[in-house]
Amino acid sequence: MRASERRKRLEAAHLYLICPTKPRKHDLATLVEAALRGGVDMVQVREKSLPDEEVLAAAEVCRQLCQRFGALLWINDRPDLALAAGADGVHVGQDDLPPREVRRIVGNDLLVGLSTHSPQQLERALREPVDEISVGPVFATPTKPGRPAAGLAYVRHAARHASGRPWFAIGGIDRASVHSVVAAGARRIAVVRAICDADDPERAASELRSALGRR
């Protein structure tokens, strides 16, 4: 896929699923297909502890499904694995490789995303060669143990200052809390447990997408 098409799809994306290679409730293919049917636009494979071969095998499962549904595939942390997996992008955190180094590795064809946790980090991110920014964690979440919640105030700040770049509110967002996040100004969200741990991932994705005002 050409870089221009990837960026066009990113602009149109609103619901971003971040999932481990071995979800608790469903096998990976079942989960991701259901989520995509429910309206997920982007899928990130996030796994820090497994061998590279297992991550790549999981990424291939997700790549094929994303291709079927016209969704974007991201790999967490590892630009080398993103290239090897044929992914559309790589997402890094504040303690990972700097975005400019990631861009040097993946070139201009792949998308680069960056996590931010404060207005100061957001301001720096807007000067970096990144295509997408995550804003959070909005609420405390066990997927980021020890990281304090940034709160809805940070979402409101991003809504005022990051409108020129696609950004996704993330962190503890679920069916019960998504409306407050939207009210704070978010138009895009990223979730983990709200879909991965749902009994019906397709319905969970559909409900979240509806809460964003999308069908």
| 8 Å CB contact between 10 and 166 | yes
* Alpha helix (H) residue ranges in 143-200: 152-161, 178-183, 193-196
* Alpha helix (H) residue ranges in 70-130: 79-85, 99-106, 119-125
Of the two residues 2 and 101, the one the predictor is more confident about is 101
| pLDDT, tens digit, 9 for 90 and up, residues 48-101 | 889 999 999 999 999 999 999 999 999 999 999 999 999 999 999 999 999 999
**pLDDT reported for residue 103:** 98
- What is the C-alpha to C-alpha distance for residues 185 and 179, in angstroms, rounded to an integer? 10
| 8 Å CB contact between 173 and 1 | no
- What is the C-alpha to C-alpha distance for residues 215 and 140, in angstroms, rounded to an integer? 28
| pLDDT, tens digit, 9 for 90 and up, residues 139-193 | 987 766 667 899 999 999 999 999 789 999 999 999 999 999 999 999 999 999 9
CATH classification code of 3-211: 3.20.20.70
Rounded to 5 degrees, φ, ψ at 149 are -70, 140
| pLDDT, tens digit, 9 for 90 and up, residues 17-51 | 999 999 999 999 999 999 999 999 999 999 988 99
Rounded to 5 degrees, φ, ψ at 35 are -65, -40
Examine the pLDDT at 115 and tell me if it is beyond 70: yes
Domain locations in the chain?
3-211
**pLDDT reported for residue 111:** 98
3-state secondary structure of 27: coil
Reference 138, options 92, 74, 96, 184; nearest CA is 184
Q: Say how far residue 61 (Cα) sits from the centre of its chain.
A: 17
**pLDDT reported for residue 56:** 97
The token pair at 14 is 């609103």
